[in-house]
Amino acid sequence: MGVNLIVVLGKVILPDGTLSEESKRNVEKAAELFKAGAADRIAMSGRWPFSVKAEPPRTEAEAMKEYAISLGVPKGAILVEDRSLDTTGNAYYLGKMIVDDTSIKKLIVVTVDYHMPRAEYIFKAAFSERFKLKFAKSDSGITGELLKQKQKSEAKTTDLMRKLYTKADCNGFEGFCRTVERTHPLYATDYSTVPQIVWDAFSSAGFSKEYLIGKYGKGRSKVF
C-alpha cells in the first residue's frame, strides 16, 4: 500500500519570519487533512517569494513546519523543501526530493483558493505521469475586488505557462525540469534560452532582467 503525501505551498513569510495569514490557512488545512488520515506525511514547500527585498530570518517551509507541529502534527511526519522561490520552484525542487521515492503514490496539494488553478496546472505538468494528484483549497479569506485582481494576475501567469509547457517540451518530471531550466529566469541554467516573452512578463511585474540575474544568478550562466 502506497504512501500519501500532503504538499503545502507557502504563501508569503513576513520580514520578521512569521507566516502570513494565507500561509497559516494552508498549514491549518493540511493539519486537518493529516489528522483525518488523508496522508502519512506532509511536505512544506517554499523558501520565500522571489520578490522579497530583504530575506526573512527563516524560510516559509521552516515556519510552516513549526506551525504544523504547534497544531499537533508530529515532527517526524514533516518534510521540508526550502529552496523554491515560486510555485514552479515548489514542484521543481520538491520533485527532486521525492520523485524517486517509490513508496509515495499520491500527492495532495494544498494552497489558497485563488492560487489553486496555477498550482494545479504546474503540478499536473510535473507529476501527472508519476503520482496520483489531488488538490485541496484553503480559504484565503480574500473577497471582492482584491480577489478579482489576484485571480486575474494568476490567470495571466498560467496563460504564459501554457505557451511554454507544451507536451513536446514537458513530458514527465524530467521533461518538466528541462523546460524549467530552459525557460524560467529563477532556475535557468543558461539565460540565453529564456524566451523574451518571459523576460517581458517579469518586467511588466516590476522585475527587470538585470535585477533577476543580479539577485538570483550566482553560479549560473550570465549569457544574455
DSSP state of 75: G
* 224 falls within a domain: no
* 222 falls within a domain: no
Expressed as residue numbers, the domain containing 7 is 3-216
* 117 falls within a domain: yes
* 161 falls within a domain: yes
SS3 19: strand
- How many other CB atoms sit within 10 Å of the CB of residue 36? 8
Tens-place pLDDT, residues 113-153: 999 999 999 999 999 999 999 999 999 999 999 999 999 99
Q: Which of 32-41, 47-56, 87-96 has the lowest mean pLDDT?
A: 47-56
Total of domains in the chain = 1
pTM for the model stands at 0.94
* 41 falls within a domain: yes
Q: Which three cell numbers stand for residue 8?
A: 503545502
* Helix ranges, 13-101 (H): 21-35, 60-70, 87-98
Tens-place pLDDT, residues 10-44: 999 999 999 999 999 999 999 999 999 999 999 99
- Asked if pLDDT for residue 189 goes beyond 50, the answer is yes
CATH number at residue 63: 3.40.50.620
Residue, of 165 and 117, whose pLDDT is higher: 117
pLDDT of residue 220: 57
**How many helical (H) and strand (E) elements, i.e. helices and strands, does the chain have?**
8, 5
Backbone angles phi, psi at 15, to 5 degrees: -55, -25
